[in-house]
Amino acid sequence: MGANTLAYVVLLAMAFSVASASDPSPLQDFCVAVNDTNDSVFVNGKFCRDPKLAMPNDFFFSGLRLPGNTSNKLGSMVTPANVAQIPGLNTLGVSLARVDYAPYGLNPPHIHPRATEILTVLEGTLYVGFVTSNPDNRFISKVLYKGDVFVFPQGLIHFQLNVGPTNAAAIASLGSQNPGVITIANAVFGSKPAISADVLTKAFQVDKNVVEYLQSQFWTDNHTY
């Protein structure tokens, strides 16, 4: 009986661990975010305004109406609609982003450390894919057309490439109010301060001159904030 009880407790603990692996469940209807200047206090998310003071604009954002400016080296622009733009998203565990692509534009390999993404193509044709974790590192890819949907699991490297001669656009739905983004090339070769070239030379098994050249480049950030 003792062993069975212990097994039950372990399984229950694992269930709670899985359940808390994403944004915590809200404990009220909403929790409109406010910026707090008290640097001595931190919370997992944002502080809440008194619900009685909530206004319609706390739940509104017009920034996805127009295409983003894709005139950069990547030929793409991501316009987020997360808790930074919509305070009413605080504690609700969801957000959106609009992604615009110039002809043959790329949303480069990146990860969202806190969210799974569901991408819906609004216009154009996109070649998309993600890579699974070690040791398999399987590459799973698909060509998407208008109206198609594709899922990028949380934390996995993924990308989108416009393979058509016209502009493309997509909406990304994300399972976090603040999914975060780490663009692989920017993080590895454009970190501040720079990662030691010796580290990257051994990691990528290339000549040190190649690493130093890559570190000297200007790495485009295709996100608006």
Binding-site residue set for oxalate: 107, 112, 117
Structure tokens at 225: 């904030």
Does residue 131 contact residue 156 with C-beta atoms inside 8 Å? yes
> Backbone phi, then psi, for 97, in 5-degree steps?
-150, 145
Annotated binding residues: 107, 110, 112, 117, 158
Does residue 63 contact residue 17 with C-beta atoms inside 8 Å? no
Strand 117-123 versus strand 106-111 pairing type: unpaired
Structure tokens at 197: 């070239």
Annotated binding residues for Mn(2+): 110, 112, 117, 158
